[in-house]
């Protein structure tokens, strides 16, 4: 059994046995038919993966690895907020007629700021500055990338869920903590799901560019929840056959995120069970 499978089962069990339902409260999300989308939630979920040992992807339910690669490259390589630059339909519900999701995610990553690095002033975006710091000042304790910007939240079609990463280098290993304000266990934020896959990939990408070894990936979720219409799906996932984690392959010829494409990443020996039922998404 993979570590992601273990976490998924543990978190599902905690949600069922200890979760708090918001059914008696007014909620923002709605189903496509206009019905309020209620959830059962738990607070303060923490997962720790050792990326030297395994890649965090769920085997209890098949995950779309290629789509996850496309999305993380769309964000951190392209720094785009337009779905026309992404060969996937993840963001269709939040895009306007031009394909924009507003000043969210990639827009925030691509904004340039003036940084003062020990008296040297540099004009960079957050991703460029992170890589600069990792290469030139790896003991820095301010290596933070954030997509949370209250001054522009009204211009975002969706406030970022995964909104901040904190980075650390210890003994030649690159460690990262992902902070997520809200996570849907079934759609994306479950252990070994899209969010785990994408940000574990990001650690591998940045480590390659900075000549470091991928180390610990810690994922903190403030509010992890199951939607009411997803409850019946859970037994069909949690009790599936469990397989070992696959191995991540990366094209060794690519050393910069700017040059990486979805074809530079593959999973070797990924075994899983496909979920036949369609997952309804609340907006």
Q: What is the mean pLDDT of residues 266-277?
A: 95
Q: 42 pLDDT exceeds 90?
A: yes
Rounded Cα–Cα distance for residues 5 and 86 (Å): 28
172-227 pLDDT per residue, tens: 999 999 999 999 999 899 999 999 999 999 999 999 999 999 999 999 999 999 99
- Domain edges within the chain: 3-262
Average pLDDT, the chain: 96
Q: Which range among 84-93, 195-204, 271-280 has the greatest average pLDDT?
A: 195-204
Q: Give the torsion through C-alpha atoms of 259, 260, 262, 267, to 10 deg.
A: 160
Query: Residue 175 in 3-state DSSP?
Result: strand
Question: How many Cβ atoms sit within 10 Å of the Cβ of residue 37?
Answer: 20
- β pairing state of 173-180 and 162-170: antiparallel
CATH T-level topology, domain 3-262: Thymidylate Synthase; Chain A (3.30.572)
In tens, the pLDDT along 6-30 reads 999 999 999 999 999 999 999 999 9
Q: What is the pLDDT of residues 90-144, one digit of tens each?
A: 888 899 999 999 999 999 999 999 999 988 899 999 999 999 999 999 999 999 9
- Residue 88, judged by CB atoms within 10 A of its CB (0-12, 13-18, 19+), counts as middle
pLDDT for 240 equals: 95
pLDDT band at 57 (very low <50, low <70, confident <90, very high): very high
Torsion of CA 251, 257, 262, 268, to 10 degrees: 40
Give the integer Cα–Cα distance in Å for 46 and 254: 32
Could you write out the DSSP letters of every residue in 7-31? HHHHHHHHHHHH-EE-TTS--S-B-
Distance CA 268, CA 99 (A): 34
pLDDT digits (tens, 9 = 90+) for 143-174: 999 999 999 999 999 999 999 999 999 999 99
71 Cα distance to chain centroid: 9
Where b means 16+ CB within 10 Å and e means fewer, 2-32 reads bbbbebbbebbeebeeebeeeeeeeeeeebe
Q: What is the pLDDT of residue 14?
A: 97
Distance between CA 49 and CA 58 in Å, rounded?
A: 13
162 catalytic residue (yes or no): no
What pLDDT score does 10 carry? 97
pLDDT score, position 277:
85
Taking each helix axis from N to C end, the angle separating 65-76 and 194-209, rounded to the nearest 10 degrees, works out to 60
- Per-residue pLDDT, averaged over 46-51, amounts to 98
Rounded to the nearest 10°, the torsion over CA 63, 194, 172, 111 is: 140
pTM: 0.96
pLDDT confidence of residue 81: 95
Confidence of residue 282 (pLDDT cuts 50, 70, 90): confident
Query: What's the mean pLDDT in 245-273?
Result: 97
276 falls in which pLDDT band (50, 70, 90)? confident
More confident residue, 41 or 88: 41
Catalytic residue among 60, 69, 86, 161: 161
Higher pLDDT, 281 or 265: 265
Nearest to 282 by CA among 34, 46, 71, 49: 34
């Amino acid at each position: 059994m993979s570590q992601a499978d273990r976490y998924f089962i543990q978190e599902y069990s905690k949600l069922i046995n200890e979760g708090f339902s918001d059914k008696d409260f007014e909620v923002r999300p709605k189903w496509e038919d206009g019905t309020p989308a209620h959830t059962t939630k738990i607070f303060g979920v923490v997962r720790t993966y050792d990326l030297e040992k395994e890649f965090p992807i769920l085997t209890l339910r098949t995950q779309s690895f290629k789509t996850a690669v496309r999305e993380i490259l769309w964000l951190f390589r392209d720094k785009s907020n337009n779905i026309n630059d992404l060969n996937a339909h993840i963001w269709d519900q939040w895009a306007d007629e031009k394909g924009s999701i507003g000043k969210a995610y990639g827009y925030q990553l691509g904004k340039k700021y003036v940084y003062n690095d020990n008296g040297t002033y540099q004009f960079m975006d957050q991703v460029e500055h992170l890589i600069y710091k990792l290469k030139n000042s790896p003991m820095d304790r301010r290596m933070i990338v954030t997509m949370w910007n209250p001054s522009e939240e009204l211009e975002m079609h969706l406030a970022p869920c995964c909104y901040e990463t904190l980075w650390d280098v210890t003994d030649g290993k690159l460690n990262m903590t992902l902070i997520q304000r809200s996570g849907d266990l079934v759609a994306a934020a479950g252990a070994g799901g899209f969010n785990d896959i994408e940000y574990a990939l990001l650690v591998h990408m940045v480590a390659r560019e900075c000549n470091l070894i991928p180390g610990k990936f810690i994922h903190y979720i403030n509010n992890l929840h199951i939607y009411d219409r997803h409850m019946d799906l859970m037994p069909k996932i949690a009790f599936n056959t469990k397989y070992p984690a696959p191995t991540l392959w990366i094209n060794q010829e690519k050393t910069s995120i700017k040059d990486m494409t979805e074809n530079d990443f593959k999973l070797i020996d990924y075994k899983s069970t496909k979920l036949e039922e369609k997952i309804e998404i609340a907006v």
